[in-house]
Amino acid sequence: MRKISRGSIAGACSIIFGLVFLSRNSMRNNFIRMEEYMNVNEEHEKLERYTAPSLDFIIAGFPKCGTSTLLYSLGEHDDVEMRQTEYCALGRNNMNNSEAIEAFNVMAKEEFQTQLIHGIKCPVSLRFPKFLERLEMINENAKLVIGVRHPVLFFQSYYNYRVVSTIKGKKLPIPDIRDLVGGSDKAWRGVYTGYKFEDKLMQLGKVHLDVDDMTELAKKNMSLSPTPLKVFLYDVSQLQDPDKSRNSDFRSDLQQFLGIEKKIEPFGMRNVVANQGNFSEMVDICEDKYKDLRVRLCKQGEKSFHWIRDKFLTSQDVVTGGSR
């Protein structure tokens, strides 16, 4: 498995990210977490229920970063069994741990019929600390596959995706994209210029966070939720990389990370809902009138790039594919 070299990360607005810190006491902590829903007299029975069926990996994010492409491509692989629609119920706050995991078990028994490698997709899972906590309870050796994207293209794609789903669902009105400048208080259905990949990654406690990092989390009412889960990071452009040799290396690295025996074939472009249609409300962010937006997003992307390169990629638990 290759670790990405610093020299291979180029461009102020190019981002490749990652996550999570492996605690020496992870096993002990897992059992401490379980105590909130376990009765001592039922411990053995509950443990059996919580560790089967298996969940080996999740396509964990981010939105508009190739998660559907991976869902369908891996779902067609001979060694993998995927739920073919998103499953994010593990992060639900209106369920306690026992209820959420029981609901997962019911779903898994219906969806997973073989002893293959099992996976699900939830591109917003990193927004919900409970999601990864419960995933650990199901399988502390589960793995996370996380994609990121150029911040300008991410913002455009996420906005247009919301436009299409809003129009088709007849949920008007649709705000002007320039009205979404700022923090989460300016967000429309999760879309705003202040969306930062590293915020979601910081909270996972993968690396040491300094005062500035902790202040950033506190401003957004986020907190540390360390997890031992291993992470494979990619940039969405790698899925359709025209360099065949480099693309092959990337797929081989992902195959190795997931523990798949057969090779992963080239990815197709698959998304059932996103950006289907041609509506006047959709934007081309490369138009001159959006120049200020592009400048803002690139400056933000540069800060993200430096934090990820100088801190996040030093983690032993984060791997990246296709380092050439």
Interatomic CA distance for residues 149 and 16, integer angstroms: 8
What is the per-residue pLDDT across 11-55, written as a single tens digit (0 to 9) for each?
333 433 333 333 334 333 433 343 443 443 444 344 444 445 689
Residue 65 placed within a domain: yes
Which band of pLDDT confidence, cut at 50, 70 and 90, is reported for residue 276? Answer: low
Query: What letter represents residue 23's amino acid?
Result: S
Give residue 163's Cα distance to chain centre.
22
Residue 45 placed within a domain: no
Which band of pLDDT confidence, cut at 50, 70 and 90, is reported for residue 196? Answer: very high
Residue 86 placed within a domain: yes
Which domain range does residue 113 map to? 52-320
Which pLDDT does position 61 carry in this prediction? 87
Domain count along the chain: 1
Residue 5 placed within a domain: no
Residue 109 placed within a domain: yes
Interatomic CA distance for residues 260 and 275, integer angstroms: 31
DSSP code, position 191: B
Which pLDDT does position 324 carry in this prediction? 53
Q: What are phi and psi of 59, to 5 degrees?
A: -85, 100
Residue 1 placed within a domain: no
What is the per-residue pLDDT across 111-137, written as a single tens digit (0 to 9) for each?
998 889 999 999 999 988 899 999 999
Query: What letter represents residue 269's amino acid?
Result: M
Residue 21 placed within a domain: no
Residue 220 placed within a domain: yes
Domain with residue 98: its CATH number is: 3.40.50.300
Question: What is the biggest distance separating any 2 CA atoms in the chain, rounded to whole angstroms?
Answer: 67
Cα separations (Å) of 269 from 175, 240, 294, 301?
A: 28, 8, 26, 25
Nearest CA-CA partner of 178 in 290, 68, 14: 290
